[in-house]
Structure 1
Amino acid sequence: MTKSVDRYLRHILSLPHARYEPCAWAACAIAAPGFALASDLRPHQAWGAMAAVGYTVAAVLACGARSRPAARVAAVAGAVVLPLGGLTAAGLGQLELTVVERSGHLLLTTGSPYVADPGAVADFNPYLPGMALFGILPGDPRWWLGGAFAAALALAGLRLAWLLACPLVALPLVVGGIDLPVVGLMCLGLVLAGQGRPGRAGLVLGAAAALKWTAWPALPVALALIVARQGGRPALRCAAVALITMSTAVLPFALADPAGFYRNVVAFPLGLTDTTSPAASPLPGHLLATYVPGGTVITLALLAASALLIAASVMARPPQTAQAAAFRLALGLGLAMTLMPATRFGYLVYPLVLGAPAYGTPRRRPTLILTGETREKALA
């Protein structure tokens, strides 16, 4: 089934842009205001109204072959740049931005980004300590979060316009954007691993793992890729660099207040606290946890089972390219995001963005790594 889906997506993406680009922007122009009408959050409504104009202009421009680059500029400007400037000036954003700003303030004043005994939803900080750095930097965190995401994708050699203008990316970038630098670094780490740069891959993946736990599955997938292409020693180097980077950022705070760290980073996202997480989109995991007796235990068991299945597939058939590794990781995280007890549609940005290196065409080819038998055949 995985191979069939893979072939289908590659067929769709191999079609000439002229055939589907105007339709794609037109679909976005319809979806954006539709989402604004369906949401009861002011930041979402404001984004939908502004993004619809940008997507409409992009759809009109995309009808002409010479104006397609301008269409992508219009889409990015209308769905990202202008709404981001407007919402930032108006002070509109999701609660996660307040959490990041407060965690940065707490880090500077108390030495810890966490409230020791959180009670209300706003008191919880479900992110790892590295995320607090975005709350320390001057200005609205959204600019830094979006900038880190765009920089990571650019360094990975991916096409920025399509990803930035995609509604599932543009919306969180404008109203919150917490997950974007995480998934951007994950993509960059996999690309570096595929290029045979284990040290740099470990540094990037370790930095992502210090921001949010959702980045952790990327490391074993990257290690499997490095082992398949280069062998065990480079993989050990990648693992060592990643673990040292992550541990340096996380362990001091986890050891200083283990109970507070557990309440914020582990119990709250998994729905194990008395305070309900606002992440409550009607995906299977949340529906099970809410309406089925013992549903939380069931969802956690399903999460564990899906993780084991993906791990078994990686061990049985290690990915040979960064594209294959990204697809495997996108599949695993897609399952995880739909099965989490406290989940939201915005988490689907992980499989979406990871699908860019899996199916997209990078602007530059990755460095070819020749090892063992492959090198001997090349020299023959």
Structure 2
Amino acid sequence: MTRAASPVRPVVALSGPVTVSLPSSRRGTGRRWETLCWAACAVFALLLCLRTTLGPHQVWGSCATGGYGLAALVARLSARAWGRASAAVAVGGSVLVPLALLIADGARQLEVTVVERSGGLLLDSGTPYVPDPAGLRDYNPYLPGMALFGLPRAVLGDVPFADARLWFALVSLGAMGLAAALGRGSRSSGRGTARPLLLLAATPAVALPLAVGGVDLPVIALMCLALALAGRGGGPVVTGLALGAAASLKWTAWPLLPVGLALLAVTAGRRAAVRAGATAVTSAVLVVLPAALADPEAFTEHVLLFPLGEGGTGSPAASPLPGHLLATYVPGGFTLAVAALALSAVAVAGSLVTRPPRTTVAAADRLALGLGIAMCLIPATRFGYVVYPLVLLGWFRLGPAGRWWPVDRVTEAPRTHPPAAKPQED
């Protein structure tokens, strides 16, 4: 006698990720948080517009207030939390519109004028530095690599496409996008990078310098790219070139070298770290040394003394942070601030030896800590430098693979099932 076989349910083997939609209440909470974030950005932009005395910042504040407000409305009406639509609206209002208006009007921050002038000087004299600076506008505190952003103006003349701010933005967003793609692996795509880039560009700390002309953004972007390469155990030559490119722009990038090399030593070995270090130092020296030798006195005055507040003209970087307060109000305070800065550098360097970072996020955190301490202790500093630790702390956590990425769906790990059992007969 044969019993009827029990029905066998079909089993499907899943070879890819399973996407599970979250409840509508969770999606609604995400939209509310997104709306509040854009509304807070609008309030910040409005307050800046009302309180600042700088013309470019007033233009940015008025445009960004409308852009962020419209982004909040789009977020409130959107069916999906943290979508690209609201971020794109925010970027349009806080970056594209004010940048176009400022370029058309010819208004720019002093930094943009300095960089564009340095490009012309580099072509004419081989050094981007004015020989005898008489006033604040004559000083160029950046390393010679920054003058490359001024070459389009020197070559093309007074045309909108030659504006240094456009080249700052292109290099910054391009390097950040590449860093995000490297951080997520080979399966990442441009589509997956678009939303993090939009959110980054729309953040007030980034949108403001993108529009009015911030020289620090390409420096930060190249730092993130170098860390992403080191975290993947990238080729020592390519990693070294990225490290050297950042180091040739500004002194603030030099703490990247020990951190990036410590990470590369963990991911690719000490020999790769040594090769990358040699490549980085060689490439940076090849950019910096010719200008330093062309006029050593000008190089010292512009790049060494002026940023420390010891040049012939006082640095405008005078935010009331500990280093500046020590140098200004305490007898011998300048020496104390420099000593504290040196001790903090030794402490961070010691941590790289005793406990080297093993992931890109850990290296970015260590670099953000070191830069944050340094920017508090440098005698001549400004609050705007906070963009360095903010981007370093957030960028490698932002994105589909990051812990801070706001989503309205949860992707589970792939699941496989054993083959279905055959019905038994007796």
Q: Establish whether TM, by shorter chain, passes 0.5.
A: yes
Post-superposition Cα deviations, 1:231-274, rounded to whole Å, max 9, x if no partner, equal: 21110111111111101100111122222111100100011123
Letter in 2 for 1:101: E
2:330 paired with 1:315: no
Determine the C-alpha separation between the residues in 2 that align with 1:246 and 1:282. 32
Deviation at 1:310, TM superposition (A): 1.3
The equivalent residue for 1:50 is: 63
The equivalent residue for 1:249 is: 287
2:102 paired with 1:62: no
CA distance change for structure 1 residues 200 and 192 in 2, over 3 Å: closer, same or farther? same
The equivalent residue for 2:122 is: 107
Instruction: Pick from 128, 133, 136 the counterpart of residue 151 of structure 2.
Output: 136
2:259 paired with 1:259: no
Determine the C-alpha separation between the residues in 2 that align with 1:94 and 1:121. 13
What is the aligned residue count?
Answer: 350
* SS of 2:307 mapped into structure 1: coil
Letter in 2 for 1:147: L
2:270 paired with 1:237: no
8 Å Cα contact 1:288-1:298 kept in structure 2:
yes
Q: Which has the higher helix share?
A: 1
The equivalent residue for 2:412 is: none
8 Å Cα contact 1:223-1:238 kept in structure 2:
yes
2:54 paired with 1:41: yes
Instruction: Pick from 99, 107, 112 the counterpart of residue 92 of structure 1.
Output: 107
Determine the C-alpha separation between the residues in 1 that align with 2:152 and 2:79. 40
Letter in 1 for 2:364: A
The equivalent residue for 1:9 is: none
Letter in 2 for 1:135: G
8 Å Cα contact 2:344-2:373 kept in structure 1:
yes
Structure 2 unaligned residues grouped into runs of 5+: 1-28, 154-161, 181-192, 403-426
Letter in 1 for 2:49: A
Deviation at 1:362, TM superposition (A): 5.5
The equivalent residue for 2:95 is: 80
Determine the C-alpha separation between the residues in 1 that align with 2:386 and 2:303. 20
Letter in 1 for 2:46: P
8 Å Cα contact 2:84-2:198 kept in structure 1:
no
Determine the C-alpha separation between the residues in 2 that align with 1:335 and 1:19. 35
The equivalent residue for 2:15 is: none
Determine the C-alpha separation between the residues in 2 that align with 1:362 and 1:155. 14
Instruction: Pick from 318, 322, 329 the counterpart of residue 284 of structure 1.
Output: 322
2:175 paired with 1:160: no
Deviation at 1:109, TM superposition (A): 1.2
CA distance change for structure 1 residues 294 and 17 in 2, over 3 Å: closer, same or farther? farther
Determine the C-alpha separation between the residues in 1 that align with 2:54 and 2:100. 18
Determine the C-alpha separation between the residues in 1 that align with 2:323 and 2:206. 22
Determine the C-alpha separation between the residues in 1 that align with 2:253 and 2:122. 22
Deviation at 1:65, TM superposition (A): 4.0
- Percent identity, aligned pairs only, is 55
The equivalent residue for 1:183 is: 220
The equivalent residue for 1:199 is: 237
The equivalent residue for 2:3 is: none
Deviation at 1:286, TM superposition (A): 2.1
The equivalent residue for 1:373 is: none
Deviation at 1:301, TM superposition (A): 1.6
Letter in 1 for 2:166: W
* SS of 2:76 mapped into structure 1: coil
8 Å Cα contact 2:372-2:389 kept in structure 1:
yes
2:150 paired with 1:150: no
8 Å Cα contact 1:325-1:358 kept in structure 2:
no
Please give the root-mean-square deviation of Cα atoms over the aligned residues, in Å: 1.8
Determine the C-alpha separation between the residues in 2 that align with 1:148 and 1:182. 9
Determine the C-alpha separation between the residues in 2 that align with 1:31 and 1:80. 15
Aligned pairs for 1:352-371 (under 5 A) are: 352-361=390-399
Post-superposition Cα deviations, 1:340-378, rounded to whole Å, max 9, x if no partner, equal: 2211121111111111344323669xxxxxxxxxxxxxx
Displacement over 3 Å in runs of 4+ = 16-19, 361-364
Determine the C-alpha separation between the residues in 2 that align with 1:200 and 1:57. 42
Letter in 2 for 1:143: L
Deviation at 1:71, TM superposition (A): 0.5
Determine the C-alpha separation between the residues in 2 that align with 1:269 and 1:341. 9
The equivalent residue for 1:8 is: none
8 Å Cα contact 1:324-1:358 kept in structure 2:
no
Deviation at 1:66, TM superposition (A): 2.8
Letter in 1 for 2:222: L
The equivalent residue for 1:22 is: 35
Post-superposition Cα deviations, 1:17-40, rounded to whole Å, max 9, x if no partner, equal: 435221111110101111222221
2:330 paired with 1:295: no
Determine the C-alpha separation between the residues in 2 that align with 1:92 and 1:342. 26
Deviation at 1:62, TM superposition (A): 1.2
Tell me whether 181-190 or 17-26 shows the greater mean CA deviation. 17-26
* SS of 1:112 mapped into structure 2: coil
CA distance change for structure 1 residues 17 and 332 in 2, over 3 Å: closer, same or farther? farther
Letter in 1 for 2:35: P
The structure having more radius of gyration, on CA atoms, is 2
Letter in 2 for 1:23: L
8 Å Cα contact 2:232-2:267 kept in structure 1:
no
CA distance change for structure 1 residues 296 and 362 in 2, over 3 Å: closer, same or farther? farther
Tell me whether 67-76 or 128-137 shows the greater mean CA deviation. 67-76
8 Å Cα contact 1:326-1:357 kept in structure 2:
no
8 Å Cα contact 1:327-1:358 kept in structure 2:
no
Structure 1 unaligned residues grouped into runs of 5+: 1-15, 365-380
Determine the C-alpha separation between the residues in 1 that align with 2:115 and 2:136. 13
Letter in 2 for 1:286: H
